[in-house]
Amino acid sequence: MKRKIRIIVLIFIYIFTLTACSSGQGDKSKGGAKKEEKQKITIYTDVKDKYTLDIMKYVTEEYKKENTKIDININNAMYKNGLKDELKKDSNIDIVFTNRSNIIDLSKNGFLSDISNFYSKSNISEKFYNIMSSYGMVGDKYYGIGLIPYTLEILYNEDALKKINLPKPTNLKEVQQLLIKVNEKNIKIPIALTDDIEPLIAVSSIYASNVISNLQLEKLYNSSIEKYKQFSNMQNYFTELDKLYKNKVILKDTFEKADENIVSKVEGNELPIAIVFSYLNKDIMNSKLQLLSDYSLSDVKINIPVIINGLFSICTNSKNAESANDFLEFVYSDKFQSKLSEQGFITGNKKANAELKGSSKIISEHLAKANNDNILFFYNLPQKINSLLLVEVEKIFKGNYDGKEWDRVVENYSKASEKK
């Protein structure tokens, strides 16, 4: 009897041991699964331009393909109170994808990390054009790096110009003469740009670089109203625009907004000339159309505006700073930059652009010459000023210049800031 009891007890012990082992292995398996869980990189963006957003999404998808253990979560930070307030509330943001104006603001308020070590490790200054570093620099530190640079290009159809008895332009001075004649014929010049930039402001920026110092403007960012008013170079900008109006180069109806289909219309002889951003080069490169290569006014060289409306920055409170740095290293490697080039994009990477031809080569040459002076000046101003600038620019091209444009912009900006 005792022997039977002993056997039964042993059986129970054996069963219990098996169950415990099985349970332990299950826990271990679950623990292992936790270790294999994908790490997340959270990117917040307030970029509204569909072209840049499409490229950014392509970049993140390609990164995920090669880094299967890391997931990227993209959130659109279109919040009423702005990106800065959202960063105050959310500590899970690793990377911000935004414009230069926001980067200046966020860096001055301590929300962004200095990524100078990344610049040095990835040899950005050597591998990329100066304009890429210029857009990401605030003061003497790097807080961001642009995804894709777009140049503002003057596109023309030589055959269409001949039909209306106009010569093809070879430099910016001849373009101005062409605009005068086009205005006389009541022909509107279409402008196709990124979604976030007003065409009239972009075109007028061509003339801003000779009278406005971007470095000085950046230092003034969010300064007092008095200091902004003392920055007389901004009024000089409005004065230059008034000269263009009085010389009948640019009138209120000279330009009209166009979409990406404008290239085919110019090629089809519907229009003789257009102003476009270089994203559309994929259509231009296989056409008979030509780009203006020489941006000079007599002995004065004009700086071609370069648009970089999306830059990556790493947040100071990022919980995945190492992975965020790895992401940047992937994006700005020569290998991936060449892949972007193969997709038809003209990048800021020298090696990727080395073998370009035709219109692509002209655009890359414009980028190669670009520096801090080629940054669109309004990216060094608080964003709320932009709409106020547009109001005054429009007035000038309606013949309403009075020499007090900049004072009004600053005063109206002050009123808007007080209401907040």
6 contacts: CB under 8 Å, gap ≥ 6: none
pLDDT at 7 over 90: no
User: Do 411 and 282 belong together in one domain?
Assistant: yes
Q: Could you give the CA distance from residue 256 to residue 203 in angstroms, rounded to a whole number?
A: 12
User: Do 291 and 179 belong together in one domain?
Assistant: yes
Whether 411 maps to a domain, the answer reads yes
For 227-253, what is the mean pLDDT?
A: 95
Whether 334 maps to a domain, the answer reads yes
Q: When comparing pLDDT for 127 and 416, which is higher?
A: 127
User: Do 339 and 192 belong together in one domain?
Assistant: no
26 pLDDT band, cuts 50/70/90, is very low
Quick: pLDDT tens for 146-175: 999 999 999 999 999 999 999 999 999 999
Give me the percent of the chain exceeding a pLDDT of 70. 89
pLDDT at 317 over 50: yes
User: Do 74 and 190 belong together in one domain?
Assistant: no
Whether 201 maps to a domain, the answer reads yes
Whether 1 maps to a domain, the answer reads no
Residue 313 burial (C-beta neighbours within 10 Å; 0-12, 13-18, 19+) = buried
User: Do 139 and 70 belong together in one domain?
Assistant: yes
User: Do 338 and 322 belong together in one domain?
Assistant: yes
The CATH number of whichever domain residue 272 belongs to comes to 3.40.190.10
Angle between helices 233-246 and 384-396 (to 10 degrees): 30
Quick: pLDDT tens for 258-276: 999 999 999 998 889 999 9
Whether 11 maps to a domain, the answer reads no
What b/e string do you get for 367-398 counting C-beta neighbours within 10 Å, with b at 16 or more?
Answer: bebbebbbbbbbbbbbeebbebbbebbebbbe
What does the pLDDT read at residue 365? Answer: 95
Give me the percent of the chain exceeding a pLDDT of 90. 75
Could you give the number of structural domains in the chain? 2
User: Do 234 and 379 belong together in one domain?
Assistant: yes
User: Do 103 and 237 belong together in one domain?
Assistant: no
Q: State the average pLDDT for the chain.
A: 88
User: Do 104 and 179 belong together in one domain?
Assistant: no
DSSP string of 327-348, one letter each residue: HHHHHTSHHHHHHHHHTT---S
75 pLDDT band, cuts 50/70/90, is confident
pLDDT at 86 over 70: yes
pLDDT at 232 over 50: yes
User: Do 87 and 135 belong together in one domain?
Assistant: yes
User: Which H or E run includes 141?
Assistant: strand 141-142
What order of strands is seen across the sheet that includes strand 145-146?
70-76, 39-45, 95-98, 311-314, 145-146
Whether 360 maps to a domain, the answer reads no
User: Do 334 and 300 belong together in one domain?
Assistant: no
Q: Can you give the residue range of the structural domain that contains 98?
A: 39-149+308-351
Spatial CA neighbour of 200 closest among 170, 238, 157: 238
What does the pLDDT read at residue 10? Answer: 42
Whether 187 maps to a domain, the answer reads yes
Whether 140 maps to a domain, the answer reads yes
> Where are the extended beta strands (E) located within 46-99?
70-76, 95-98
User: Do 205 and 109 belong together in one domain?
Assistant: no
For 71-99, what is the mean pLDDT?
A: 81
